Structure 1
Amino acid sequence: MRIDKYLWCVRYYKTRNMVTEACKKNHVTVNGQVAKPSKEVFPGDKVTFRKDQITQIITVLDVPANRVGAKLVDMYRKDETPAESFAHLEMLKLAKEHYRKTGVGRPTKKDRRDLEDFETDFDTNDEIE
């Protein structure tokens, strides 16, 4: 089975076109070699690809005939991605949320004034010491 079809069948990508783009950007490797979308995969192959800032490593256990349901995906692949990768992604998400909540938009006039008050409070405390 082609690598683009395989990654689509085991639900790592939503469309085959997305897998094709990832292959063209050299984000997908099979057994350590950069893979074109038409590269054939067989059971036992190690597939490495970069998606959502995580380098994921999977081993092909079997080749499905068609796209499979989410509950059946584990029959066709073995996920060997280190847990640190997912922890790192979680830390990135938390860091972004800490700065500004998603969907809040531009800082308001009140936000600016609060920042200015905070900076002036901080500056006066430094001078007292």
Structure 2
Amino acid sequence: MRLDKFLKVSRLVKRRTVAKDFADHERVLVNGRVAKPATEVRPGDVITIQFGVRKMVVEVLELKESVRAADAAQLYRTIEQS
């Protein structure tokens, strides 16, 4: 699954266009490397997202094409949040 789509489906980012902008501005890392919006995400990958001064690190647990808002948090595990 594409990185921008995963961020949107998992509700880590509100819209896919916002996820694309984050990746275009090098604010998203996958497994420690700067990621593009089309980077393939797999279970076990570690995603780091920089929201201004706030940073969030999550591990991908599962991939789904669509998910209800209540179940979105089951797609990832938060490792670090600051």
TM normalised by structure 2 equals 0.92
Q: Report the AA paired with residue 53 of structure 1.
A: V
Paired position in structure 1 for 2:80: 81
Query: In structure 2, what is the equivalent of residue 47 of structure 1?
Result: 47
Size of the alignment, in residue pairs? 82
- 1:52: Cα distance to partner? 4.6
2:32 pairs with 1:32: yes
Higher relative contact order (CA 8 A, sep 6+): 2
Task: Please state which structure has a larger fraction of its residues in strand.
Answer: 2
Secondary structure in 2 aligned to 1:11?
coil
Could you say which residue in structure 2 is the equivalent of 1:65?
Answer: 65
Q: Which runs of 5+ in 2 are unaligned?
A: none
Q: Which runs of 5+ in 1 are unaligned?
A: 86-129
Amino acid at match of 2:31: N
Please state how far the C-alpha of 1:17 moved relative to its aligned partner: 0.6
Counterpart CA distance in 1 for 2:18 and 2:65 is 20
> CA shift at 1:10, angstroms?
0.5
CA RMSD, Structure 1 to Structure 2 (Å): 1.2
Structure 1, residues 10-60: CA drift from partner, whole Å, max 9, x if none? 111111110111001100000001000000000000000112521100000
Give the C-alpha shift of residue 80 in structure 1: 1.0
Structure with higher Rg: it is 1
Bigger helix share: 1
Match of 1:12 in 2: 12
TM-score, length-scaled by structure 1: 0.60
1: distance between equivalents of 2:20 and 2:73? 23
